[in-house]
Amino acid sequence: MITRRFAAPLAAVLTGGSVLLAPPTAVAAPPAEKPAERVDKTPVAEGYGGAVSTVDLDASKAALQVLRRGGNAVDAAIAAAATLGVTEPYSAGLAGGGFIVYYDARRGRVHTIDGRETAPGAMTSASLEGIPFEEAVTSGLSAGVPGSVAQWELALRRFGTISLRQALQPAIEVASKGFTVDQTFYDQTAANAARFKDFTSTAALYLPGGAPPAVGSTFRNPELADTYRKLGRYGGRWLYGGGLGAEIVRTVKSPPVTPGSTRNVRPGLMELSDLRAYRALERPPTRISYEGMDVYGMAPPSSGGSTVGEALNILEALPDVGVHEYLEASRLAFADRGKYVGDVPGVPLRELLSDGFAKERACLIGERAMAHPAPAGEPDGDYAPCPAPAGGAQPETAGPAREGPETTHLVVTDRWGNVVAYNITIESTGGNGIVVPGRGFLLNNELTDFTFGPAPGDPNLPGPGKRPRSSMAPTIVLDDGRPLLALGSPGGSTIITTVLQILVNRWELGMSLPEALAAPRATQRNTAQTQAEQAFLDRYGAELTARGHSFALNPEIGAATAVEFLGKGRLQAVAEPSRRGGGSALVVSPAR
Ligand code: GLU
């Protein structure tokens, strides 16, 4: 099981070197578009000049179209995200939020844009106390101030080359002409039918004739096409304080509950002033080095970058790395995440990501699984080689049962070598279940990511204007300053372990990137049991159980997308072969 620093595929990549293509100013004409070209859904694509991977063929095609017309990775990523708002409306949408990690090839720098939703100004640490989780899920109360549109505008203004209006075009086309309902869309609609029917607007859109649209049928969303068109015309101001914002506020405060429904739908606290006050924010990325590579991620309010980074540092401090070590490093990093990370001042990010702290934490990993729960460490700058465990026990508070397959992730790279890793979400699959009447999109329920409390000292309690702690972990790896890998996944707090496990598979277990994504998954988040897919149990269950691990079945963990720079300009875009119905990887040109 243990294969320390598996050299073969990675060494080949490293010696091949990642060659950046010409800078934007020295670009030849974009490759001509072939209008009749047939594009299929495939999980792996290799080639040149740019690449994209998303969960959905239409979204990947939208990105490819933008790239082929000369747009850059940011332009293409926004086009794909908006299209996912049409075809994956239960995971993504203009009323959601997300995080972008962006490698700017010309400047050789990694940037991030935080488009996380915020709590309304009227929300306090007690606002969610005592509310049953399931009740909060489908409510106005859990709707955060949307971040995606502000994020798109900021990303395009700072790093893009096209307008929001242009970026929305492919999505408008898909929303107007329609897309083919697949099994995943059908299943997600069916799983939500009981609550969708409780809102007139949602039932009208997603339960036409009272039932989920049939697999193979064409689903159109003309209202969303119209909303996108107007958004392109009026800009984000229409949402952040304008007419669309007023409609969102009205819907949040007075959800369109179906007459006769017995659901207790709590109204929200959002005001137009909250929308006016919203800002997407540029933040410095997290960075750690792993075996000489630089791993960049998302800083708080996401716990993605800090937790993936800490776990990698712990693994690097160990003499051997296999699946046991992967689970244990993750357990420890989650203990620290629970205690220290949230949208609060003073998160000890530097120390959490320091080698000294990682070495101290790595000391706790032995031959057998650690006792549950692992206590949080003391990231205080004063590290002993192998101290006695300290700090309070911090089991993961978000119960594992709550983590579903929601959210989505996409990667795009362009012919200049710019790279985008982008997580976008409306939180639950189907968000809060409430479509804004006449507008064709669902509201998020991101505020359920807060700790409901009472939990004195918890960094993730709600507060006015606060952003709930996220687990989203869009990740970009540079080798010698050049992009090597970009990846991410949906799945709530399993996002962190999925990203980590793919990196362990790739770098420590000798897998190629397609193998690393396809491999069976397990997720240990400082919980008593490790959740694992059946194939993981089949492969490792007996051996790990003998070492003290205990498992619970999770039928499907994550739905990752990734791209690897193979050297000499060659790209490998990778999506899931089967999870969530399989994803779509595309490249601009298969040949140089
Ligand atoms: N709300 C989650 C987070 O930010 C993402 C949605 C999910 O995948 O559960 O971590």
Spatial contact of 375 and 388, defined as CB atoms under 8 Å apart: no
User: Alpha helices of 400-540 — where are they, by DSSP H?
Assistant: 494-507, 513-518, 534-536
Question: Which of 390, 323, 312 is closest to 355 using CA atoms?
Answer: 312
- Confirm if 333 and 310 have CB atoms less than 8 A apart: yes
Query: In angstroms, rounded to a whole number, what is the distance separating the alpha carbons of residues 238 and 240?
Result: 6
Q: Residue 20 is encoded by which pair of tokens?
A: 């950046």
Q: What pLDDT digit, counting tens, does each position of 347-379 carry?
A: 999 999 999 999 999 999 999 999 999 999 999
Distance between CA 157 and CA 331 in Å, rounded? 39
Domain with residues 14-126+401-434+450-589, CATH architecture: 4-Layer Sandwich (3.60)
Cβ proximity of 432 and 497 under 8 Å: no
Of all atoms in ligand 1, which is nearest to the CA of residue 116?
A: 4
Q: Is the per-residue pLDDT at 30 higher than 60?
A: no
- Tell me, what's the pLDDT at 33? 47
Q: Which of 396, 449, 489 best tests ligand 1's pocket when mutated (most atoms within 8 Å of CB)? A: 449
Shortest-distance Cα residue to atom 8 of ligand 1: 492
CA 100 to ligand 1 centroid distance, Å: 14
User: Per DSSP, which regions of 132-187 are E strands?
Assistant: 179-180
Residue matched to tokens 């990887």:
585
Q: How far is the CA of 400 from the centre of ligand 1 (A)?
A: 12
Contact 443, 428 (CB under 8 A): no
Q: Is the pLDDT of residue 10 over 50?
A: no
pLDDT band at 402 (very low <50, low <70, confident <90, very high): low
Query: What span, in angstroms and rounded, lies between the C-alpha atoms of 416 and 30?
Result: 12
Which residues approach ligand 1 with their CB closer than 6 A?
406-407, 425, 427, 446, 449, 470-472, 490-492, 495
Among 220, 219, 224, 198, CA closest to 210: 198
Average pLDDT score over residue span 22-32: 39
| Region 162-183 average pLDDT | 98
Task: Return the active site residues.
Answer: 407
- What predicted TM-score, i.e. pTM, was given to this entire model? 0.93
Judge whether residue 183 has pLDDT over 90: yes
Q: What's the rounded Cα separation, in Å, for the pair 540 and 346?
A: 40
CA–CA–CA angle 567, 570, 572 (5° rounding): 105
Which residue lies with its CA nearest to atom 1 of ligand 1? 427
Q: Which of 329, 302, 327, 331 is nearest to 317 (CA)?
A: 329
**Residue 16 Cα, ligand 1 centroid: separation in angstroms?**
36
What's the pLDDT score for residue 386? 76
Give the chain's mean pLDDT. Answer: 92
Position 397 scores a pLDDT of 43
| CA 495 to mean position of chain CA atoms | 7
Q: Where are the beta strands (DSSP E) in 151-307?
A: 179-180, 218-219, 281-283, 286-290, 293-297
Question: Residues for the chain: how many in total?
Answer: 592
Which residue has the least CA distance to atom 9 on ligand 1? 492
> Could you tell me the residue ranges of all domains in the chain?
14-126+401-434+450-589
Are the beta carbons of 395 and 375 closer than 8 angstroms?
Answer: no
Which residue among 422, 428, 472, 525 has the greatest number of ligand 1 atoms within 8 angstroms of its CB, and so is best to mutate?
Answer: 472
CA-based nearest residue to 206, from 197, 444, 84, 218: 197
Write out pLDDT tens, residues 239-260: 999 999 999 999 999 999 999 9
Bridge partners, 477 (sequence order): 295, 485
Answer yes or no: is pLDDT of 6 > 70: no
Q: Specify the residue for token string 């009026």.
A: 234
pLDDT of residue 39: 80
Nearest to 415 by CA among 116, 96, 69, 54: 69
Question: For ligand 1, atom 4, which residue shows the shortest CA distance?
Answer: 470
**Residue nearest (by alpha carbon) to ligand 1 atom 2:** 492
Question: Residue 137: which pLDDT band, with cuts at 50, 70 and 90?
Answer: very high
Question: Taking residues 70-76, what's their average pLDDT?
Answer: 98
Question: How far, in Å, is the centroid of ligand 1 from the Cα of 376?
Answer: 22
